[in-house]
Amino acid sequence: MTRIAIMSDVHGNFEALKEVLADLDGRSVDAVYCLGDMIGYGPQPQECVDLLRERGVECTMGNHEQGLINIHYLRGFNQPAADMLRRTREMISEETYLWLTTRHKAIVEHGCRFVHGLPPDSIIEYLWRHEDEMAGVFARYAEDVCFVGHTHDLMRYTCRRGEPARHPLPEGETVLEQGVRHLVNIGSVGQPRDGDNRAKYGILDLDSRVLTMRFIPYDIKKTADLIIAHGFHRAFADRLW
């Protein structure tokens, strides 16, 4: 295994996911990881899950998958998001529901940790809430590289000799320096919130430690129109732009 792909927060956006996987097809990766929130907000949850499973993508649980489990977890969402999850439950099969709600909180493979929210295995914690205590965050897990999602916003943190620092994560290549620990927010496939509405994912070459961020255009209008046609909250369509 030398090259892996990482994505997160598909959020039922089938058009975005299709384009990401089409882009990935020509790039010779050995494994693909999705850091949760495969469903929620978007109009095609069943289609997204079917495609991820068909392609053998290894998936962790996100807070939207957890929100499907019971009312205790659903209370953590604002009303439109909670309503959307109730609708999502009606749109997916029983088998898909069971698969979504039994994903692991974290995966550790290839010397990397994969988790939706905050390492070591939080599904619901946002990274930005801990920016003043990043040294403590790095102390909670052992791997040199950790990938997270949840915020939908690209960002990279490093920890050199116990001193954390924050860095942007641009399109293209970034070298994850050897001997320095890295915590990477990989952004979102289905609902980016970083000022660029293209779908985002990354490819990490484990030998060279080069992380290549790919920004992929897709048919936003098609997804937005489906959201509105299904009678979902219009904000879920508008925020795609």
Do residues 45 and 158 lie in contact, with contact meaning Cβ atoms separated by under 8 Å?
no
pTM: 0.96
pLDDT band at 1 (very low <50, low <70, confident <90, very high): low
Instruction: With cut-offs at 50, 70 and 90, classify the pLDDT of residue 93.
Output: very high
Distances (CA, A) of 99 to 69, 106, 109: 11, 15, 21
The C-alpha angle with vertex 102 and arms to 43 and 58, in degrees rounded to 5, equals 75
pLDDT tier at 71, thresholds 50, 70, 90: confident
Cis omega (within 30 of 0) for bond into 43: no
Span 146-168, average pLDDT: 96
202 vs 24: CA distance, rounded Å: 10
**What pLDDT, on the 0 to 100 scale, is given for residue 26?**
86
